[in-house]
């Protein structure tokens, strides 16, 4: 696994994990790497430096407080966790049927209800162009989380 700091054309910076450098290149070429903030597909690797503390550089690692890996590390992570919990509790997860369900609700073929699911960037773009109100969510369904 490799962690890259990425930057979109709008200047947003974010981190993401990939199986390898080759996996990043393949996903980016297919348009599957999008900005976590604005959804832009124009994403590239940002300049990165190794993260070493002063004591690690001297060979003496600083003691780290013990915490669960799932515990949020920052206010942003706490807010994201709260948003995810709210969406999962109050919206119907429709998975890969999201585009079809959103269009059916918009066209009045199905009753209004809050939904969330998965869509490719181009499919979401077409929904927006057709007047269907959608927005990207900055997380994946729990079933896909590690």
Question: Is 101 inside any structural domain?
Answer: yes
On whether residue 30 sits in a domain, the answer given is yes
Residues 82 and 129 in one domain: yes
What is the 3-class SS of 18-39, one letter each residue?
A: ECCHHHHHHHHHCCCCCCCCCC
Domain count, the chain: 2
**Are 87 and 126 found together in one domain?**
yes
* Domain annotation covers residue 70: no
Domain annotation covers residue 144: no
For residues 70 and 26, is the Cβ–Cβ distance under 8 A? no
Q: What pLDDT digit, counting tens, does each position of 35-85 carry?
A: 888 888 888 888 776 666 665 555 666 666 666 767 777 888 888 889 999
| Host domain of residue 79 | 75-134
pTM across the whole model: 0.51
Burial 54-78 (b: 16+ CB within 10 A, else e): eeeeeeeeeeeeeeeeeeeeeeeee
Q: Which of 89, 116, 90 is nearest to 101 (CA)?
A: 116
Predicted pLDDT at 145: 46
Domain-embedded: residue 66: no
């Amino acid at each position: 696994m490799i962690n890259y700091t990425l930057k979109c054309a709008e200047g947003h910076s974010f981190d993401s994990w990939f199986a390898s450098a080759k996996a990043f290149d393949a996903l980016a070429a297919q348009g599957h790497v999008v900005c976590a903030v604005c959804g832009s597909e124009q994403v590239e690797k940002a300049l990165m430096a190794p993260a070493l503390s002063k004591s690690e550089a001297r060979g003496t690692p600083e003691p780290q407080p013990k915490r669960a890996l799932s515990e949020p590390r920052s206010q942003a992570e706490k807010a994201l966790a709260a948003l995810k919990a709210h969406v999962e509790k109050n919206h119907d997860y429709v998975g890969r049927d999201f585009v079809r369900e959103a269009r059916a609700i918009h066209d009045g073929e199905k009753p209004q209800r809050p939904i969330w699911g998965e869509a490719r960037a181009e499919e979401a773009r077409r929904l927006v162009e057709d007047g269907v109100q959608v927005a990207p969510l900055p997380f994946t369904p729990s079933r896909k989380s590690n």
